Structure 1
Amino acid sequence: MSEQITRDIAALAELFKAGGWSELRVEGGGISLLFSNDPDSTSNGGSALAAPAAPEKGARPPQAPAAAGQKVDPVPDRREKRASGGVIDPDWVAVTAPNLGTFYRSPKPGAAPFVEVGQRVEPSTEICLIEVMKLFTSVKAGLSGTVRHVAVDDGALVEGGQTLAYIEIN
């Protein structure tokens, strides 16, 4: 096995641990990997498919993506709080991460952020990048409105479905 593949597998293992998943199956390039927290999980190279994890108690069902794998959640959790302690307005729309990765507010270090709080956005406005293993995913607003809150610090690890920003439709 090449050194690059070994590093990639180690990176996937770290992402699996950080993501809080119960199982993750990765196949490609002649390799099949199963990461699992269940000691009784199938490890025979893929003859059984991993069952999806049961939703957490009180979790909302997944919604259809707005565009290219991105979720826009029109009913944010009314109990969610900002870092500053203020309550998120229930009429604001949550824009969520399409996948696990590192959240970047700007296209490169030292550059201006894609969006600022108070900025007007359109559905095609890029609001951030999510990077995992040198693969960057552009996250678009998905709707027209005004950015009211950025919920993640630049450079933070985010999980798929995690709220990135809130937009007030206007």
Structure 2
Amino acid sequence: MSEQLLRDIEILADLFMSGGWTELRVESDAISLLLSKDKATLSLDGVQQPAAPIAAVPPAVAASKVAPEPVATGASAGPIDAAWTAVNAPNLGTFYRSPKPGSPPFVEVGQRVEAHTELCLIEVMKLFTSVKAGIAGTLRHVAVADADLVEGGQPLFYIACD
């Protein structure tokens, strides 16, 4: 099994476990995958499987997982002011503060942003969604650590409007 396929399965398993789903089926030329929380679910070939715990991440994949970077310090670590505007995740996926590994983040706490300023990327199955500020102001808080899984609608950043 390729390393990319293992990474894709890991992402699917993470999404399954955190998404509140009871069953997920994926079939392609390369793989047939069934994740279910119901012990009575039939396998992909229609045969009932013996009850066995589902591992969220295959052991080979878990060993290669990199620890996420801590959330920025300073103003980002303090309390959130009720006057600040939240910038929410448009969809479920993995949150990335920078355009590629090793690059500086798109924005830093204290930085002035415009409505069109790109703040981060959300990735699901190699599909990247750019998240823009949507308002002008000063970035005051980063609510998520880099490479964390986020839910749609979850606050990612807080901006103090001018």
TM (norm. structure 2) is 0.61
| Per-residue deviation, 1:11 | 3.8
After TM superposition, list the pairs within 5 Å mapping 1:125-144 onto structure 2. Answer: 125-144=117-136
Question: Is the contact made by 1:23 and 1:34 (CA closer than 8 Å) also made in structure 2?
Answer: no
Q: Deviations over 1:44-92 (max 9, x none)?
A: xxxxxxxxxxxxxxxxxxxxxxxxxxxxxxxxxxxxxx973x3210000
Q: Which runs of 5+ in 1 are unaligned?
A: 42-81
Question: Residue 58 of structure 2 corresponds to which residue in structure 1?
Answer: none
Residue number in structure 2 paired with 1:67: none
Where 2:12 maps in the other structure, the secondary structure is helix
The two structures, once aligned, show a CA RMSD in angstroms of: 3.4
Structure 1 letter corresponding to 2:14: E
Q: Aligned residue for 1:120? A: 112
| C-alpha distance in structure 1 between counterparts of 2:25 and 2:82, whole Å | 37
Residues 99 and 39 of structure 1, relative CA distance in 2, 3 Å threshold: farther
Amino acid in structure 1 at the alignment position of 2:152: G
The sequence identity of aligned pairs, in percent, is 61
Structure 1 residues 11, 103: closer, same or farther in 2, change over 3 A? Answer: closer
Contact 1:101 1:159 in 2 (8 A): yes
Report whether the alignment pairs 1:157 with 2:156.
no
Aligned to 1:79: none
Letter in 2 for 1:106: S
The equivalent residue for 2:50 is none
**Which stretches of structure 1, 4 residues or more, deviate above 2 A after TM superposition?**
6-14, 22-29, 33-41
Alignment correspondent of 1:100: 92
- Greater gyration radius: 2
Structure 1 residues 118 and 83: alpha-carbon distance in aligned structure 2, compared to 1, 3 A threshold = closer
Q: One-letter code of the match for 2:96?
A: Y
TM-superposition CA deviations, 1:84-138 (whole Å, max 9, x none): 3x32100001111111221111111221211111111111110001112111110
What is aligned with 1:87?
79
In 2, Cα distance between the equivalents of 1:160 and 1:13? 17
Aligned 8 A contact 1:148 1:167 in 2: yes
Matched residue count: 130
The structure, 1 or 2, with the larger RCO (C-alpha pairs under 8 Å, 6+ apart) is 2
Higher-helix-fraction structure: 2
